[in-house]
Amino acid sequence: MADRLLDKVAIVTGATSGIGKAVVEAFAKEGAKVVFIGRRQDKGLAVESENRNQGGEVTFVQGDVTKEEDIEKMISTALEKYGKIDVLVNNAGRSTVASFHEYDMKKDYDDIMDLNIKSYVQCCRLVLPHMLKNKKGNIVNIASIGAITAMPKQVSYAVSKGGVVQLSRTIAYEYAKDGIRCNTICPGLTQTELVESGSPVEKILQSIVPSKTSGTAQGIAMAAVFMASDESPYMSGANLTIDGACTCGPCPEL
């Protein structure tokens, strides 16, 4: 076990699979105490068990980050166990695919915005008082290349992820004097439960990546480790794009 995050307490959302799961694993290996939340209890308990078996100090909280009471449960769990929160990683998110003029405003807009941006706002709002009390803190928001490039048939996803970038920038500026940093990671094509290796979706998306390859959740997680560590003390308000140069060209229509 390394010690880049030794003795730091981190909370992570949307962490029962994909990038969130990889963040939990990477943080635990780097010495952090991690409390993470997700809706799927079986998956969450499996992630908790796997990490504990490898020597990590990891706690799963079953919950839905679109519900304020579940966010508060995650925060209170971390505070009760460890007395502080050093790092927040917002990762929960999803998308639907539909032509904009055919949108179902509940399924394709309200539900996406509630998870992809409102939950981030709520998590930041509720954790900031505890970071302010300690005069330090670090927030890492996972967005998407959808924040910086057009995404046909995924308007709500693109809008929500653009909002994540601006949320990070605004928090970074407002709370810099309080010792709090906030940064964004914008992943491109990444192999996860939603984009499985060798799947038709992955092959379509790989067509615009110069190397014709996909990124990994572990690669994104290691960028989050760097942002959350003391190795990047002057980094705040930054937006790190990890996409294999994908955004140097057009985004495909699904």
Query: d(Cα 176, Cα 13) in Å, to the nearest integer?
Result: 23
Q: How far is CA 151 from CA 78, 91, 146, 159, 161, in A?
A: 36, 19, 6, 10, 11
Residue 194 DSSP one-character state: S
86's CB contacts (< 8 A; 6+ apart) are 8, 9, 10, 32, 131, 134, 136, 137, 138, 228
Let me know: does 6 contact 31? Beta carbons within 8 Å: yes
Structural contact between residues 41 and 12, judged by C-beta atoms closer than 8 angstroms: no
Task: Read off the DSSP letter of residue 148.
Answer: T
The 10 Å Cβ neighbour count of residue 200 is 8
Q: Which residue has the tokens 């394709």?
A: 108
Helices (H), the chain: 18-29, 41-53, 68-82, 111-113, 119-134, 155-175, 200-206, 217-228
Of 109, 120, 157, 175, catalytic: 157
For tokens 């653009």, what's the residue? 162
Say what the alpha-carbon torsion angle 223, 242, 168, 217 is, to the nearest 10 degrees: -60
- Assess whether 234 carries a catalytic annotation: no
Q: Which residues are catalytic?
A: 157
